[in-house]
C-alpha cells in the first residue's frame, strides 16, 4: 500500500496559515480532521458546518473555532453558512466542500435497484452541494482575486464503486463539476482540488465494512488531512492519499475494456467472501 508523502511544515502552511477555513461535514470523519489540521496549521478561524450541530460544536470548541448548522442538500443553508462566516470572520480563503454520503445497491447484482429517493438524496448531497457552494462563493472569490475550493469526492469518482451504482454515478458527476469549475474559473484566481481517498477510518466506512475500498488498507482521517495540506500547497487538482489509485486510473484509461473485465472479476471475488 503506497500513500502520499508530505513536504516540510513551511511548505504545508502556505495555503492555511492565517486563513479562514470552512468545512462542511465538519462534525466527524475527514471533515473533523480537516478542521483539526487547519487549526494546527495556523488558520485564523475554522468553521465546522454540519447538520449534526452538537457534534460540530464539540469539534469547534476544541480548536477555538465555530460551528454552524448546515444541511448541504439545502442551497439556502449553504448560502446562509457562507454569508455568516464571511460577515463574522472575513473572506473565506479555503472552502472544504466535504460532506458526502455513500449508498449501496439495494439488491446485490442489480445496479438499478436503489429507490428514486436514494438517487435524489445522493445527487443533492454528492453533487448539488458542490454546485451550491460554488454558486454562492465563486463570484465573491473572483471579485477579491482568488481563493481555494476543496471538494471531497472519493476514489469511486475516478474509478467506480462495486455494488454501489448511486455512489459511483454521483461521485463521477462531482468530479465532472470540479473539473468545469477549475477550467472555467482558473483565470479568476479560483483554485480547485478534489480529494479522492479509498478506505478511511470514518463512521461511514465502519457502517459498510468489508468492501473493496478496504483492499489497499485503511488510512486514518488524520493522515488524509495531512495529504490534503500537502496537495493544497502544491495546488494539485487530484489529491490521492493512496498513490495506487493513480495506477488504477492509468489502467482504466489505458484499456477500458480490460479494466471493466477486471472489475467484474474483483466483484465476484469480493462477493464470494
Task: Tell me the CATH number at 144.
Answer: 3.40.50.720
Mean pLDDT for 237-264 is 96
Question: Could you give the number of structural domains in the chain?
Answer: 1
Q: Report yes or no on 49 lying in a domain.
A: yes
| 261 has a pLDDT exceeding 50 | yes
Q: What is the pLDDT of residue 196?
A: 97
Inter-residue contact 200 to 222 (CB < 8 Å): no
Q: Report yes or no on 129 lying in a domain.
A: yes
Inter-residue contact 27 to 100 (CB < 8 Å): no
Inter-residue contact 77 to 69 (CB < 8 Å): yes
Q: What is the pLDDT of residue 129?
A: 98
Q: What is the residue range of 217's domain?
A: 9-244
Give the least confident one: 23-37, 46-60, 214-228, 236-250: 214-228
Q: Report yes or no on 2 lying in a domain.
A: no
The residues, any chain, with a CB within 8 Å of residue 50's CB and separated by 6 or more, are 24, 25, 26, 27, 28, 31, 56, 67, 68, 69, 70, 99
Strand partners, 242: 3
Q: What is the pLDDT of residue 8?
A: 36
Q: Report yes or no on 251 lying in a domain.
A: no
Give the least confident one: 13-27, 63-77, 127-141, 183-197: 13-27
Strand partners, 97: 151
Apex 101 CA angle, 218 and 193, nearest 5? 70
| 212 has a pLDDT exceeding 70 | no
Rg over CA atoms, the chain = 18
Q: What is the pLDDT of residue 12?
A: 39
Q: Report yes or no on 1 lying in a domain.
A: no
Provide the mean pLDDT of the chain: 91
Percentage with pLDDT > 70 across the chain: 90
pLDDT, tens only, 75-120? 999 999 999 999 999 999 999 999 999 999 999 899 999 999 999 9
Mean pLDDT for 119-132 is 98
Mean pLDDT for 27-54 is 97
Q: Which three cell numbers stand for residue 19?
A: 486563513
Distances (CA, A) of 110 to 115, 118, 153, 168, 269: 12, 15, 24, 14, 17
pTM to 2 decimal places:
0.91
Amino acid at each position: 500500500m503506497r500513500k502520499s508523502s508530505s513536504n516540510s511544515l513551511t511548505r504545508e502552511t502556505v495555503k492555511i496559515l492565517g486563513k479562514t477555513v470552512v468545512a462542511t461535514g465538519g462534525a466527524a470523519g475527514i471533515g473533523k480532521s480537516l478542521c483539526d489540521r487547519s487549526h494546527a496549521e495556523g488558520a485564523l478561524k475554522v468553521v465546522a458546518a454540519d447538520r449534526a450541530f452538537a457534534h460540530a460544536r464539540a469539534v469547534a470548541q476544541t480548536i477555538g473555532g465555530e460551528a454552524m448548522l448546515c444541511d448541504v442538500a439545502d442551497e439556502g443553508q449553504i448560502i446562509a453558512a457562507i454569508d455568516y462566516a464571511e460577515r463574522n470572520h472575513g473572506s473565506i480563503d479555503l472552502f472544504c466542500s466535504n460532506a458526502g454520503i455513500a449508498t449501496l445497491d439495494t439488491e446485490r447484482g442489480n445496479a438499478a435497484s436503489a429507490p428514486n429517493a436514494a438517487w435524489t438524496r445522493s445527487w443533492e448531497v454528492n453533487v448539488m452541494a458542490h454546485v451550491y457552494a460554488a454558486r454562492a462563493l465563486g463570484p465573491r472569490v473572483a471579485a477579491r482575486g482568488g481563493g481555494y475550493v476543496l471538494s471531497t469526492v472519493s476514489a469511486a469518482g475516478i474509478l467506480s464503486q462495486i455494488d454501489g451504482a448511486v455512489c459511483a454515478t454521483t461521485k463521477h458527476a462531482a468530479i465532472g463539476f470540479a473539473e468545469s469549475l477549475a477550467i472555467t474559473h482558473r483565470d479568476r484566481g479560483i483554485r480547485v482540488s478534489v480529494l479522492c481517498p479509498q478506505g478511511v477510518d470514518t463512521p461511514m466506512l465502519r457502517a459498510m465494512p468489508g468492501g473493496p475500498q478496504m483492499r489497499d488498507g485503511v488510512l486514518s482521517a488524520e493522515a488524509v488531512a495531512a495529504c490534503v495540506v500537502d496537495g493544497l500547497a502544491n495546488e494539485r487538482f487530484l489529491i490521492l492519499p493512496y498513490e495506487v489509485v493513480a495506477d488504477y486510473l492509468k489502467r482504466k484509461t489505458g484499456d477500458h475494456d480490460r479494466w471493466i473485465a477486471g472489475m467484474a472479476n474483483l466483484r465476484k471475488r469480493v462477493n464470494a467472501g
